[in-house]
Structure 1
């Protein structure tokens, strides 16, 4: 597993972006906690994350490349528009998809999708990629999530291609705003 700083990621961006496009599994920072990720359109890569997390059926959220992408691919009502205007931020918005084919069919098993655009420099990376990436906490189902390299699960560590690391993170995960079921979940 290669550990990259923001600067090293910028230097190797062409190579790294190609790896992400092809389905590599990696860890990235966010405005809240670290996330484990892959190209959300790559079914095989998504399955690898499901297997690593031991989470066969719970839907994953995606880090969207832009609010434009969200508007083009999700149903947006007045309430959703209000939340979209708060992005970037520490929120995951659960919205109905217009077309389920824009993501791998094993990301979400319904016509709903959790979407994020964190207030973090890595949002620029996702925007340049131009496609959504999975973003889910770095942990096995039911276990404590990664806050730094010292508590990264050893099994996961062996299956990750690279991590973009910026030190320990002691923040809570994003707030889930479910605009389909009209629920808010603090984690």
Structure 2
């Protein structure tokens, strides 16, 4: 397992992009806590993340490359547009997919909805350049403590990832969930 700094990510951007497109599993910083992710279009990689997390049926969210990606691939009404305008930020927006088969079925477990994020963090720029949606879920075993520093990382997780993008200790909490699949936004603080 490699631990990379922001500078190393920027210097290795092309190589890392190829690794992620090819199925690499990695840990990365966000504006809240550290996440574990992979290419959300890669069935095998998403299944590996499920195994690491010990999470069988709960859907994953994705960091998307842009607001345009959301508009192109999700059903966006006026209320959703108001929340999308708040991005980047510490929100996970639950939206209906225009094409439920867009992502690996292992991402959203057959649901026609997806949680989308654009964190207010430099790593979102990397995802934008990658051009692929990336799984975003907390870097822990399901039910375990969230990773806010390398010292918090469970060895059962770290031993199964290809690399870690480390940006120092984070003091956030998981993102606020905003369900936009109904007539009104349902906001859940975590």
State if a TM-score over 0.5 links the two structures.
yes
Cα RMSD of the aligned pairs, angstroms, is 0.8
Distance 1:8 1:131 in 2: 20
Offset, 1:184: 1.4
SS of match in other structure, 1:107: helix
SS of the residue 1:131 aligns to: coil
Q: Which position in structure 1 is the counterpart of 2:153?
A: 152
Q: 1:161: which partner in 2?
A: 162
- Displacement, 1:152? 0.6
1:176 aligns with 2:177: yes
**C-alpha deviation, 1:101, in angstroms:** 2.1
Gaps of 5+ in 1: none
Unaligned runs of 5+ in 2: none
1 CA distance for matches of 2:50 and 2:186? 25
> Residue deviations 1:134-170, cap 9 Å, x none?
0100111111111111111111111111111011112
Aligned to 2:125: 124
In 1, Cα distance between equivalents of 2:83 and 2:186: 13
- Report the counterpart of residue 78 of structure 1 in structure 2: 78
SS of the residue corresponding to residue 101 of structure 1 reads coil
TM-score, length basis structure 2 = 0.96
Greater mean alpha carbon deviation, residues 39-48 or residues 101-110 = 101-110
SS in 1 for 2:92: strand
Q: Distance in 1 between matches of 2:150 and 2:121?
A: 20
CA drift of 1:183 comes to 2.1
Query: Following TM superposition, by how much is the alpha carbon of 1:41 offset from its aligned partner in structure 2, in angstroms?
Result: 0.2
